[in-house]
Amino acid sequence: MRTVHTLKELRAVLNGYRRQGKRIGLVPTMGNLHEGHIALVEKALQAADVVVTSIFVNPMQFGISEDLDNYPRTLQADQDRLRAAGNTLLFAPAPSEIYPDGLACHTRITVPEVSEGHCGAARPGHFEGVATVVTMLFNMVQPGVAVFGEKDYQQVAVIRKLVEDLFIPVEIIAAPTVRDADGLAKSSRNGYLTPEERSLAPAIYRLMQETGERLKAGDTDYGQLERQALDSLYLGGFRPDYFTIVNSHTLKPAQPGDTELTILAAAFLGVTRLIDNLSITRSIG
């Protein structure tokens, strides 16, 4: 596996693969890689001849009070994991390579509707930062396919709309969430949890499963289900951000006639913000 840090190097290497007729895949990450990220690389290797994984802690998607400075940077360990997984090329640019003139005067991309509410409401400007950097990576790498994790469900929806609206010729693949044995979704931020918090954290997924069973059984009192879930999170030691039941495609509040539903949840344990989701299909009648 080769590691490059500049756009010039990246394009030189990729031009060689293109001349060979290779299909290029992209896996954008912020590093501190875990089994969930490696699953994305493995999925990309099934769909492409050459896989580029990017590691860039994107300052544009962090809010003023968020953990940009403390976000783990583990490049050597990440390189070892990617090499073992069969990744082809690692693109690890410095912020000055991506934003040479700084953030203040940089062009930004806004994706309406699907970026609103949920994490979009809780983290103003977050999805603008995601949409901007992902578009830049698409232009830099020019992949045929890109793989993202379903754990960030709203992010995937934002990227799908971005690609559709701007006619970007990239196939988007959403890979299933990778979980620990107790159900907790793999996340770089899980490392912030204390041992006690880690023991409590799987409750958020269990609560989504319980709510999902009630939805499958025909319960359409979505507001009541959401309120009960929020109460349970409070009692379980969480500080809930949201627990919402939405139409899986539009991410708007679920309606009684919807058959494809997704539960979106975010909550704090101590200083750690956990997000998760669960999609179900229910029959009507």
Supply the residues annotated as catalytic.
37
Structure tokens at 212: 């999902």
Rounded Cα distance, 51 and 47, in Å: 9
Helices (H) and strands (E) in the chain, counts: 10, 9
Which of 217, 206, 198 lies closest to 269 in space, CA to CA?
Answer: 198
Q: Which value, in Å, is the radius of gyration of the alpha carbons in the chain? A: 19
Rounded Cα distance, 238 and 222, in Å: 21
Write the DSSP string, 19-38: HTT--EEEEEE-S---HHHH
Write the DSSP string, 188-255: GGGGG--HHHHHHTTHHHHHHHHHHHHHHTT---HHHHHHHHHHHHHHTT-EEEEEEEEETTT-SBP-
